[in-house]
Every structure is written in C-alpha cells, then in structure tokens.
Amino acid sequence: MTDDDFQQDALSVSERLAAEALIVDVDGYEGPLDLLLTLARTQKVDLRKVSVLGLAEQYLAFVDKARHLRLELAADYLVMAAWLAFLKSRLLLPPDPSEDGPSGEELAAHLAFQLERLQAMRDVAARLMGRDQLGRDFFVRGIPEDVARTRRVSYTATLMDLMQAYARIRTRDEFRPFVMDRDAVMTLEQALDRMRGLIGYAGDWTELASYIPEGWEIDPARRRSATAATFAATLQLAKEGQIDMRQGETFAPIQIRKRPHGR
C-alpha cells in the first residue's frame, strides 16, 4: 500500500520533470520549424509520409502544455500555432468551393516539403563537415618557395577591407550633425562663442560687420549666414547686459561696444 503510494508519487514527479524538460527545451529549438521537425521525427516515419494533421495536433498540444506550465513562448511559436490551427480546420472540413486560396492539402504538402528540405540541408551539412578538411586532414605546402631574386611589391586588400572602409566612411557621414553638412552655415552658438571671446577688446564703438570671421565675408551665402548669426549673438549679449548697441538710422551700420560696467 505504502509502496504503491510511493511509486505513484515517484511516477508523477518523473512525469512532471519530463514535461518540464520538454518545455524548457523550447530554448534549444531554432524556431517553430525546427520544433516541428523534431516532432515530425517522433512519428518515426519517412518524412515524406509525415502526417501533417498529426503534426499540427502534436504542436498544438505542445504549445498548450507550455501555456499550462505558464512558460512564455516567443511570438513566432504562437503565430505558428495559430496557423496550424487554421490548417487543421482546413484539413478536417470539406473544401468550400466558394472560398479562395490554396486548399488544406496544398498547405500541408508545402509544410511537409519545408520540413523535408530543412532535414535534407542538415543531413548534407553534416556530410560536408564530415569530409576531410584542409588544415585538419590534408595540408598545404609548409615551405612555400620564395627565391629572392626579383623582389616586387604587390599590394593587396580583401573585399572585407574594401567594404569595411566604405562602411567606415558612410557611418562617419551618418553621424555628422546635419547642420555641419552645409559648410555655408554659421550657427548662433558658433557666433556667440566667437563674440564672447572678442567682446573684451571692444572698448570703443566698432561696426558689427567687422566681427564677421575671416573667410566668411566673400561668398555671399556664407556672409549672409555669418552676419545673421553674429547679429543674433550681439542681441543676446546686449540682453545679458554685456554690450551696448546703436544704429544711426535705418540701414545704417550697427555698432557695438563693451558696456563699461558689464560683466
């Protein structure tokens, strides 16, 4: 009696462990197709004769069990479950002639094809890796000849070098702040930085135009931008009480000077 009880407990524990092992293994699968392939193999039939309906049921039961154990399944597993449920209904119900789209048989045949193809690629991958390999089973010349008679330098580069170089240039560009993309633009910050440095020397009234930085006064686009930025910067400095500004009349030159008690 007590023995029986004990056995029953042991059984349920091992059952539970088995179920959990199955679920925890989900991480070991490379996506739903991989899992389906594993399930298909448990049918122990030729993959070409696999029962897709049975497979759909196995998969749905698997997902159900995972839910039951409150394990989180990645979204693509659930998408596959939904699709297989749909496939199952198509396979079970008589075909509706008014309905568009492929039949359940067509969909099932394609899934079987995918499974067979994946298995085939795995088989040949294993055969490929089982071949004799260079540097492991057979070998190149250990002493490549170099008779130093005529020494010519040849430059070499690989496609990887080339692509990495291009990628380097391109990413550098992506990261350049966009205002820098146009070198004819002076920003307010640039002008302000510059003016703060210069204003200490402006004891007397000087024309604003003389503060346009060198190299910006010839090209009209650059001059316009530099003038606007410098003007905005002086307004800011005036607001901060660091300079005085004046203008004789409309369109007359603007003049600035350091405010004597400023700073």
Q: Return d(Cα 25, Cα 20) in angstroms, integer.
A: 8
Give least dist CB 191 to other proteins, A. Answer: 24
Nearer to other proteins among residue 105 and residue 240 (C-beta):
105
Kindly give, in sequence order, each residue whose CB lies less than 8 Å from that of residue 46, ignoring residues fewer than 6 positions away.
none
The closest of 172, 161, 211, 174 to 190, measured between CA atoms, is: 211
Q: Which is nearer to other proteins, 1 or 140 (by Cβ)? A: 140
Rounded (5°) CA angle 49-62-64: 135
Minimum CB–partner distance for residue 75 and other proteins (Å) = 9
The distance of closest approach from Cβ of residue 94 to other proteins in the complex, given in angstroms and rounded to an integer, is 18
Least distance from C-beta 231 to other proteins, angstroms? 29
For other proteins, which is the closer residue by CB, 135 or 215? 135
Minimum gap (Å) between residue 149 Cβ and other proteins: 6
Taking the least distance from each CB to other proteins, the nearer of 81 and 233 is 81
Q: How far is the CB of 118 from other proteins (least distance, A)?
A: 6
Residue 202 · residue 224 · CB < 8 Å: no
User: 153 is written with which tokens?
Assistant: 């330098």
Residue 194's alpha-carbon distances to 186, 211, 237, in angstroms, are 11, 9, 12
Beta bridge partners of 169: none
Closer CB to other proteins, 83 or 206, in the complex:
83
Strand residues in 186-234 grouped as ranges (E): 206-207
Q: What is the DSSP letter of 13?
A: H
Q: How far apart are CA 199 and CA 215, in angstroms?
A: 20
Residue 108 vs 212, nearer CB to other proteins: 108
